[in-house]
Structure 1
């Protein structure tokens, strides 16, 4: 966790403690509040000391139990402020994968120009249902999260409607190894590659491929999205980062533009995808 994140969580905890101590019905002890909420005492202390991140429902229950329900919106705003930066997978996937897909759908719906770089897999908005199903299944296994796989696949497929609305421009760059990575059965990858070739030439999608043999001015690193130069989203094994400060976004744009210099498009991209397809057929 970043220092900024820790500080914001500690500040939220201090505000929760303040609400407990200024309850209209009289100052509440931590033990009394825990009893009223049906929580263990340790949860009260962890939240107030900033050692645990509250959920929106936690905040609503806390405000109500302290006799100050009007404070909920303020608390929720504070939580949203630092969750914008780090969203742990453990927390996001508590109820399954569909909610995480919906969050990305909303972010893309509210954007006009969407740039992406991906070095590990084909991005969600270009995936076939079977390819998406394979990735989401493996994610559920890794995170030991609820397996709402079909609901999540449908949510991810709904995102693809945005490709055809004519109101957005997708500028997507993939590293060539993505075309060969068997993160799904070979037959599924074959159909997925066919899907990519069919997208080349669409007026709403600019699909570039960075060849494995090309010279790179920067290491490929992890994948990320940039939405309208106002938000960048990247992920690690344990969390996603949603960053909206100007300096960070400028950095992601520089990385994207640098990688784009090594990408090929149109017929050249088509040839690389077809070569991956042929190589797959020979396995």
Structure 2
């Protein structure tokens, strides 16, 4: 099974091939020797190592067994599966309107116990007001060329916020101050959104931190990301949702989240920052 040469998943597939090649070289096997050990034709070895052919779960297990690397199986399989689901194109998922896209994360939200969320320029969807959602969605109907089902989409997005009130779930959220200042809609829309944030902060299962814009630090988040338990990371681009399922990459995102969180202010300081921004709105 191959991928489109124009797909970003192609690069990920090539990276997987390089990892498998390294396992072979680590034990001093030639491609022909590995082919002999696995019962495959040697050209199949070459195709997998060069990212031309994607291996199956069974292929990875066989490869690792031949290279005495059974401990790598889980991580390699997760890497392979992340390639398959890395890019779920919005256009494909929104053919009948945006409502389906709004509903698609619900099963993931329902099975997740710990949410870790970082956003650098927008309020997270779980905290958005109806007015804020209405201000941001119209552009995407045109941009993605999908049917305008604004009312249904707003309702669907609001419905998924019910997970906030499940006491068995925790939400650790870090926002850049820029999120508070992005003027989606008019002044009243943003003021209402900031009121909503103040209300959300009172929930016992929500920890909301804000990184002040003038904080001196050694790194900034280049993109927003959500970590679902320790099993999945999701990022969104203008045209696709990217899923990361490799354990070592999830660990890296968790480390980045902890690093960003260390600069955030919480509690009274965070409330004071939100209220100050509200005051600047007039």
| Post-superposition CA distance 1:113-142 (Å, at most 9, x none) | 000000121001001111112112222232
Contact persistence 2:9–2:86 (CA under 8 A): no
Is the alpha carbon distance of 1:155 and 1:5 closer, same or farther for their aligned partners in structure 2, counting shifts above 3 Å?
A: farther
Q: Which runs of 5+ in 2 are unaligned?
A: 1-7, 15-51, 53-80
Once the two structures are TM-superposed, the CA of residue 5 in structure 1 deviates from its matched residue by 6.3
CA deviation after TM superposition for structure 1 residue 110, in Å: 1.0
1:87 and 2:88 aligned: yes
Give 1:95 shift: 2.0
**Segments ≥4 residues shifted beyond 4 Å:** 4-7, 80-83
Measured against aligned partners, the alpha-carbon deviations of 1:251-280 in whole angstroms (never above 9, x if no partner) come to 211111110011010000001100111111
Partner of 1:59: none
Q: Distance in 2 between matches of 1:81 and 1:122?
A: 27
In the alignment, what sits opposite 2:10?
Answer: 3
Contact 1:120/1:178 (<8 A) preserved: yes
Q: Which secondary structure state, in structure 2, belongs to the residue aligned with residue 258 of structure 1?
A: helix
Partner of 2:280: 279
Q: Secondary structure at the match of 2:105?
A: helix
Residue 260 (structure 2) pairs with residue 259 (structure 1): yes
Q: Is the 8 A contact 1:231 1:243 kept in 2?
A: yes
> Which ranges of structure 1 fall in alignment gaps of 5 or more residues?
8-49, 51-79
Q: Judge conservation of contact 2:175–2:210 (CA < 8 Å) in 1.
A: yes
Q: Does 1:193 align with 2:194?
A: yes
Distance across 2 between alignment mates of 1:82 and 1:248: 13
Does residue 98 (structure 1) correspond to residue 99 (structure 2)? The answer is yes
The answer (yes or no) to whether the contact 1:229–1:249 under 8 Å persists in 2 is: yes
What per-residue deviation string (whole Å, max 9, x for no partner) do you get for residues 158-192 of structure 1? 11111112110011111101101112221111101
- Tell me the C-alpha RMSD between the 2 structures: 2.0
Residue 233 of structure 1 aligns with which residue? Answer: 234
Q: What are the within-5 Å matches in structure 2 for residues 160-239 of structure 1?
A: 160-239=161-240
- How far did 1:149 drift? 1.5
Question: TM-score of the superposition, structure 2-length normalised?
Answer: 0.70
Contact 1:201 1:266 in 2 (8 A): no
